[in-house]
Structure 1
Amino acid sequence: MVGIVNYGAGNIFSLTAALDRVGIGYGMINEEADFDQYERIIIPGVGHAGAAMSKLQESGLIAKIIALEKPVLGICVGMQLLTAYSEEGDADLLHIIPLRTLHFDQRIGEKVPHMGWNSISPKNDCPLFQDVPDNSYFYFVHSYYIEADAQLSGALCNYGIEFSAAIQRDNFFGVQFHPEKSGLVGEQVLRNFAKL
Structure 2
Amino acid sequence: MKKRIVIIDYGLGNLRSVLRGLERAGAAATITSDPEAIASADGIVLPGVGAFREGMEMLGGLAQTVLAAAEDTPLLGICLGMQMLMDSSEEHGIHRGLGLVPGDVKRFVPAAGEKVPHMGWNTIRIERQDPLFDGLRREEYVYFVHSYYAAAAPDYTLASTTYIHPFASAVKSGLTYGVQFHPEKSGAAGLLILENFIDRVC
TM-score by length of 2: 0.91
The one of 108, 119, 123 aligned to 1:119 = 123
| Superposed CA RMSD | 1.2
Q: Quick one: distance in 2 between partners of 1:19 and 1:98?
A: 27
Q: What is the percentage of aligned positions where both structures have the same residue?
A: 38
Q: Quick one: distance in 2 between partners of 1:39 and 1:148?
A: 26
Q: Deviations over 1:27-72 (max 9, x none)?
A: 1231211123410000000011111111001xx2111211221000
Q: Deviations over 1:71-112 (max 9, x none)?
A: 000000000000011111321111111100000026x44210
Q: Quick one: distance in 1 between partners of 2:63 and 2:123?
A: 32
Q: Quick one: distance in 1 between partners of 2:188 and 2:134?
A: 13
The one of 21, 24, 27 aligned to 2:27 = 24
2:13 aligned partner, one-letter code = G
1:190 aligned partner, one-letter code = L
Residue matched to 1:49: 52
CA displacement at 1:123 relative to structure 2: 1.8
TM-score by length of 1: 0.94
1:178 aligned partner, one-letter code = H
CA displacement at 1:25 relative to structure 2: 1.2
Q: Alignment length, in residue pairs?
A: 193
- Whether 2:5 is the aligned partner of 1:2: answer yes
CA displacement at 1:114 relative to structure 2: 0.3
Give ranges in structure 2 of 5+ residues lacking alignment. none
Give ranges in structure 1 of 5+ residues lacking alignment. none
1:136 alignment partner, SS class: strand
Conserved 8 A contact 1:10-1:45: yes
Q: How does 1:9-88 map to 2 (within 5 A)?
A: 9-57=12-60, 60-68=61-69, 69-88=72-91
Residue matched to 1:189: 193
